[in-house]
Amino acid sequence: MTAQADKVQRFLALHRASTPFLMPNPWDPGSARLLQSLGFEALATTSGGHAATLGRLDGSVSREEAITHAASIAEATDLPVSADFENGFADEPEAVAETVQLGLRAGLAGCSVEDSSGRPDAPIYDVAFATERVAAAAEAAHAGPVGVVLTARAENHLHGRSDLSDTIARLQRYQEAGADVLYAPGLTTADDIGAVVAAVDRPVNVLARPGCPSVAELAELGVRRISVGGAFAYAAIGAVVEAARELREEGTYGFCTRAGAGSRAAQAAFGRG
């Protein structure tokens, strides 16, 4: 518990720094150790990257699988780890709180809960109900001598809802409900991101994606945390696809150059050379 409490405090301190910290998303224990070796100070799981390791699409992992996966990454590194718990794997606030409690027991320093329902006909929870869910998650996150840093996510912009005013109103409600960090994945313009940062009093996380301002520009906007979601995991899958196509279609071995660099990085990260 002492080690976990130290991770939580280090994680909180990163959010209070004057410049944003970069929080990449490993998809297994090996990638977590690799990213630690490259100098990152905190990590977060990726629901999409985890699902891909199981041969599935994002949104198809169970709560038990997500908890076990997050625990394996937390155990693989001495960095603070935050888990992507999607919508808490439940609708009802009490069940969302239970998911957060399970994450705390798994050794996590943080976790996120989103307001996406997972239902195509009504993809975003009503704001009042979504706020109840965040309040229950926050109570669980902050209970006891060792808590976890709770990130509340407003998912509008990942579901075709470009109403920035609603996104901001939601984040403000989640802040009041006890969230430690606020996150609206899908925002890409400096104006929108700046408006969110100016409208809330909690650290804001931004998802790096095409068209998003640079790290330096996000720092100027007051962003405190930058994550990559499933991008690193899918970049790795993309590299395998390129290598496989070269071998199968061209019959050449240019991929061995990149493989050599990867092997050396693995040796350095995993302590074999």
pLDDT one digit per residue (tens) for the chain, 273 residues: 689 999 999 999 999 999 999 999 999 999 999 999 999 999 999 999 999 999 999 999 999 999 999 999 999 999 999 999 999 999 999 999 999 999 999 999 999 999 999 999 999 999 999 999 999 999 999 998 899 999 999 999 999 999 999 999 999 999 999 999 999 999 999 999 999 999 999 999 999 999 999 999 999 999 999 999 999 999 999 999 999 999 999 999 999 999 999 999 999 999 853
pTM of the model: 0.97
What Å distances lie between residue 177 and 23, 70, 78, 140, CA to CA?
Answer: 24, 25, 30, 12
Residue 86, C-beta contacts closer than 8 angstroms, at least 6 positions apart: 47, 59, 61, 66, 113, 114, 116, 118
What pLDDT shows up at residue 273?
39
What pLDDT shows up at residue 2?
86
Rounded-to-integer distance, Cα 145 and Cα 235, Å:
39
Residue type, 206: V
Structure tokens of 140? 């669980």
Residue 156 in contact with residue 177, Cβ under 8 Å? Answer: no
Half-sphere exposure of 207 (CA within 13 A, CB side): 21
Residue 228 in contact with residue 24, Cβ under 8 Å? Answer: yes
Instruction: Identify the residue whose tokens are 């780890």.
Output: 81
What pLDDT shows up at residue 144?
85
Q: What torsion, rounded to 10 degrees, do the Cα atoms 37, 53, 156, 106 define?
A: -60
Rounded-to-integer distance, Cα 92 and Cα 87, Å:
10
